[in-house]
Amino acid sequence: MNARRRAIIVATIATLLVILVLGGIVVRHKRSGVADADDAVAGEPTSRVVALGDEAAIVLGYESASRAGIGVAPIRALGNEGARSDSGAADLATVRLSGELVTDPARNATIRAAVPGRLTSTTWPALGARISAGQILGTVSDAAPLRAPRSGTVVRVGAQPAELVQAGQELLAIADFATPLARIVWRPELGNVPPRTVTVSPLAGEPSTTQARFVGGAAEIDSLTRMPVYLYRLDHAWAGARPGTPVTASAPDTRTTGGSADSSHRARAEVVVPDLAIVQWEGLAWAFVERRPRSYVRVRVMTDHPVMGGFVVTTASSGLEPGNLVVTRGAQQLLSEEFRTHLQAGDDDDAKKQ
């Protein structure tokens, strides 16, 4: 009888030990920073980072998912004819180029003294004044009156009334800024034939855009990038548009709109990521892709090919394919939740070490 009782006691102790060991393994598993995806999706009340194949995904807990109000939209493919908006118009991919406004010799004029003598005038313009073509400005000695050869803005004043001037001396310099000239730095991979028109906007200041028409190639390449330079005439100017103003130009990207440059690029799969899906972190653009219900993977998105309502990326560079669901509502909250989860996992690891 005693032997049987001892056997029962030993069996009971062994069972308790097994339960304790297995319980410890489960607890350690649940406290790890990266959990099994199936367990996490099945019923975890809190958010955590999980392994989905080779990717790390953030899985939202029930409360976090409800709070974030996540909304998703499918990625659409970019066809050979370009992406199309709801109205049916083609949303052609574009590329942004750098440049600046430059002095236009064809729109400048200089007024010089024809003879030596004293400059006389009652309406001599000041620096920055607007003058009209044919306007009488003054006289030098007994020579013919000085008339403005063109309309424009006074950019230099070389003499003042009552001063003695020499023959040939510059008195005024006039520039017409109504349709400025832009110097745009080209990129060779876009082909050797620049587009007839581009859209130009100031790099800083009040947002403004205007169409610009191709004039011709510049005499010199860009000294900084060693790239070709093309000149474009703006249809109109914005306030403060002066030579030296930095600008950006948006031009059709022939690599994605059926141009002759780099036909192999067009053969690669391309998709349009909605701009509502983009979040910024460390100066880079990202989007969250829904791999499973409440499971999201953050992927890098290149933004150098903007189109109406989004950005064109290749499947090769992003891993995104037509039909993938990207987060278009609540993406910023999802980014915050991901890093909060990473921080909590790091705190747990530190606690274990202590």
Higher pLDDT, 340 or 288: 288
Q: Are 11 and 25 in contact (CB under 8 A)?
A: no
* Residue 351 or 284, more confident: 284
Per the model's pLDDT, the better-predicted residue between 289 and 319 turns out to be 289
8 occurs within a structural domain: no
Do 157 and 199 sit in the same domain of this protein? Answer: no
345, pLDDT greater than 60 = no
Strands 270-274 and 246-252: unpaired
Dump pLDDT digits (tens) for 231-265.
Answer: 999 999 888 888 988 998 888 766 554 444 444 44
What's the number of domains the chain is made of?
3
Do 301 and 322 lie in one domain? The reply is: yes
- Give the per-residue pLDDT at 4: 62
Query: 27 lies in a domain?
Result: no
**Mean pLDDT throughout 134-160?**
92
Q: Determine, yes or no, domain membership for 242.
A: yes
* Residue 354 within any structural domain of the chain: no
Q: Residue 5 domain-assigned?
A: no
Q: Give the DSSP per-residue string, 195-221.
A: -SEEEEEESSSS---EEEEEEEE-SS-
Residue 23 lies in a domain: no
Domain that holds residue 207: 179-252
At 95-114, the pLDDT tens digits run: 788 889 998 888 889 999 99
Same domain membership, residue 228 and residue 263: no
Q: Please, are residues 125 and 154 in contact by the beta-carbon 8 Å criterion?
A: yes
Is the domain of 268 the same as that of 242?
no
pLDDT of residue 192: 74
Among 175, 192, 227, which residue terminates a domain? 175
The answer on pLDDT for 57 being more than 80 is no
Nearest to 212 by CA among 182, 187, 175: 182
In the chain, the percentage of residues whose pLDDT exceeds 90 is 24
Domain harbouring 145, CATH code: 2.40.50.100
Reduced to 3 states, what is the DSSP secondary structure of residue 41? helix
Does some domain include residue 326? yes
339 and 274 assigned to the same domain:
yes
